[in-house]
Amino acid sequence: MLRYTAMRFGLIVASFGVIWGLVRLRVLPAGLGDSNYLWVALLALVVSAPLSFVLLRNVREQAATQVSEKVERTRRNLAANQQQEDAADDAARDGAARTA
């Protein structure tokens, strides 16, 4: 998961650099007044989204698999703990019923 996040962030930074260069070369329009960096940042986010969808597909699928495995493992552990608690409750009830 950390690998995907780092690659996604790197793609945003690379997009920012390329777009900033294109704005400086006047290939793309600059923002109004002092909003130039905000304009470049927004454009970088918009451009990097479809690029990450295509370029980071395998990494994203690996991260999703890791997350789903962790969720399933946690679900199994919770079910096992619940069974242990149920067994302990049943044993306590049986012990209380015998003494009564």
DSSP-based helix, strand, coil % in the chain, nearest 5 = 85, 0, 15
Q: Average per-residue pLDDT in the chain?
A: 88
Q: Is the pTM of this model over 0.85?
A: no
**DSSP-based three-state secondary structure for 33:** coil
Domain shared by 1 and 48, yes or no: yes
Mean pLDDT in residue range 56-61: 94
Domain shared by 35 and 19, yes or no: yes
- State the pLDDT at residue 95: 73
Per-residue pLDDT band at 28 (split at 50, 70, 90) = confident
- State the pLDDT at residue 100: 61
Mean pLDDT in residue range 77-87: 85
Domain shared by 13 and 36, yes or no: yes
Segments forming the whole domain that contains residue 40: 1-55
Domain shared by 49 and 77, yes or no: no
